[in-house]
Amino acid sequence: MISFRDAFQVVAGLLLLLSCTKQEKERAEYPYRITGNVRNCEGCEVELKSDVTSDFELVDSTFVKNGSFSFRGELPDSGFYEVTLETPAAFIGVNVFLPSDSIHLTIDAEHKIRTNKFYVNEQMPSPFAHVFVSSASPIQAELEKYLLMRDSLWAKFFDDKDTMVVKFRKTYDSGDQALVQQWADSVENMRYRFPNYLSYAADLFIGQGAGPEATMFAIIDNRNDRMATERFRKYFNALPAAYRKGHEGSCLDEYLKENEERNKNNQRFVHSRIRNLDLLGKTPQGEEVDESAIFKHNKLTLVEFWASWCGPCRMEMPRYYTLYEQYKGKGFGFIAVSMDNKRDMWLKAIAQDGLDVHHISELKGPNGDDMRRFEIKGIPANMLVDATGKIIAVDISRIDLRNKLEESL
């Protein structure tokens, strides 16, 4: 089951790679004030974080006292921020635009109030479904318009996914294995289409004449959909120069450049040969692995780059592992290269996931030599390598990999 928090904070792993450095400039001061009433969460901590242009940097924090909280201060930059409240039962993350004369939030930590605007799903409920936001800011109103549009596409994804599963199940008794496999592939493909639904919401929103601030938020909110990078670059270039050159615009430009570079690298690496077949990481026991021997022993080997803290990696790896279990006797190898820098977290993830493959790590995080050598800018990422060390695919999907294995083994 994927939680809302997982879906919107899995980007934390990628944010470690897509860092945005603030421009040197004279410090501006933007006063702000946020108040709130919170039910069922007395004493809970409330945090104000810089949302889209930093690694969720903490700006301020306070506690719920007598059912209320307040933030007041000055910010170095105007832009989008997030008010978060976390309890064992719920996670609330509310996007706000600051500065603003006043923003007031009404929150129920046990989800006992409903705005009747936002989609509610047991797998991925929107936190905004249980929060009232009161603000006179026109940018805040435009932000909510985008979030509602994103929410409608969010809901459509799950409706389409459920419909696809129903149709797939109807093929069970058909006796037509090709048809069953075709629908199974369609269901599997839906797993990868969730970002496409959300980026389409950004397309619709921007196409309806969104203002520059909300346009930048919508693009940054979908920065992990690399397939949409070309479209988003056009939207960005159409923004007024003052916004493109401002702090958030500069950060957005960096995000787009990262995606553009990764897309270009994917094409450049295919058909090239790994000159040094040995990867530099060591096993959990601190031993070296002869990767060149693994490559030579197998017709095809998947090299998967992941980390314990990367939610999408932890979801994707078991799916590829299923193929490994099926084809390992026919010449398919699997090497998992971790981007962790904390040994205990890496070992804990290996134990939890129980994937019996070759595990190695330099324990240098994104600064590992292999990450630089193969220009890994974001994870999950993978390379499919043949027996000679030639890279024949980059970021290959599970379905394409299965088809390649059927064809080659």
Task: Say which residue, 351 or 169, is predicted with more confidence.
Answer: 351
Q: Residue 14's domain spans which residues?
A: 4-136
In a domain, 280, yes or no: no
306 and 378 part of one domain = yes
CATH number, domain containing residue 8:
2.60.40.10
20 and 117 part of one domain = yes
Residue 326 has pLDDT above 90, yes or no: yes
pLDDT at 119: 55
95 and 213 part of one domain = no
28 and 114 part of one domain = yes
Query: SS3 for 116?
Result: coil
191 and 113 part of one domain = no
In a domain, 281, yes or no: no
Work out the percent of the chain whose per-residue pLDDT is above 90.
Answer: 32
pLDDT at 395: 85
15 and 128 part of one domain = yes
In a domain, 285, yes or no: no
13 and 131 part of one domain = yes
Residue 1 CB coordination number (10 Å): 6
Mean pLDDT of the chain: 81
Per-residue pLDDT tens digits for 22-57: 444 444 588 889 999 998 889 999 999 887 655 568
Residues shown for the chain:
409
Per-residue pLDDT tens digits for 70-100: 999 988 788 889 898 877 666 788 889 998 8
Amino acid at 170: K
40 and 94 part of one domain = yes
Residue 344 has pLDDT above 80, yes or no: yes
296 and 240 part of one domain = no
111: left (phi over 0), alpha (psi -120 to 50) or beta: left
Measured in whole angstroms, the distance separating CA 61 from the mean position of its chain's CA atoms is 25
CATH number, domain containing residue 312:
3.40.30.10
Q: Which of 268, 301, 317 is the last residue of a domain?
A: 268
248 and 186 part of one domain = yes
Residue 191 has pLDDT above 70, yes or no: no
Reported pTM: 0.61
Residue 304 has pLDDT above 90, yes or no: yes
pLDDT at 23: 44
In a domain, 277, yes or no: no
pLDDT at 386: 92
**pLDDT-based confidence at residue 404 (cuts at 50, 70, 90):** very high
Q: Which of 136, 162, 188 is the last residue of a domain?
A: 136
Name 238's Cβ contacts closer than 8 Å, sequence gap at least 6: none
In a domain, 284, yes or no: no
Number of domains in the chain: 3
CA distance 17 to 258: 9
149 and 37 part of one domain = no
pLDDT at 54: 53
16 and 118 part of one domain = yes
Q: What is the mean pLDDT of residues 173-192?
A: 74
Q: Which of 136, 167, 196 is the last residue of a domain?
A: 136
